[in-house]
Amino acid sequence: MRPIRSEVDATNVLQITKFSYVKELLEPQVLSSIDGLPFTTEGYERAKNILKTKFGKEMNKVVNAYVSSIPSLPMIYGANPNKVSQCYEKLCSSV
């Protein structure tokens, strides 16, 4: 769960906000394991424990796959709206 810790947990925001960020990063199958938890500090801590226990290193693979796809996006030269749109779609799906 290192990417979540480095990307979300290390930020200087309320734990409830961190919980919201984590939920946005998760795929539906993973999200379902924490979806019923309350938006509280305790809920966030329980979610981290569940994710760490249940998914552990696999979670790293999912997040790393998305993060590593960002640098591989093509460079866009000139004004080509179609290429910009394609790049934007790929970037949004990775983020």
pLDDT tens-digit readout, 40-73: 999 999 998 888 888 775 556 666 677 777 777 8
pLDDT at 1: 47
State how far the Cα of 12 lies from the Cα of 60, in Å rounded to an integer.
22
- What rounded mean pLDDT belongs to the chain? 78
More confident residue, 57 or 37: 37
Residue 26 has pLDDT above 50, yes or no: yes
Angle of CA points 24, 27, 30, to nearest 5°: 105
Query: What global pTM score does this model have?
Result: 0.52
pLDDT tens-digit readout, 3-15: 555 567 677 788 8
State how far the Cα of 4 lies from the Cα of 83, in Å rounded to an integer.
31
Task: Tell me what percent of the residues of the chain surpass a pLDDT of 90.
Answer: 7
State how far the Cα of 23 lies from the Cα of 65, in Å rounded to an integer.
17
Tell which residue, 49, 54, 46, 61, has the closest CA to residue 30: 54
**Domain limits, the chain:** 2-68
- What tokens appear for 52 in the block? 């760490």
CA 71 from centroid of its chain's CA atoms: 16
- What tokens appear for 43 in the block? 């809920």
pLDDT at 52: 83
Residue 2 has pLDDT above 50, yes or no: no
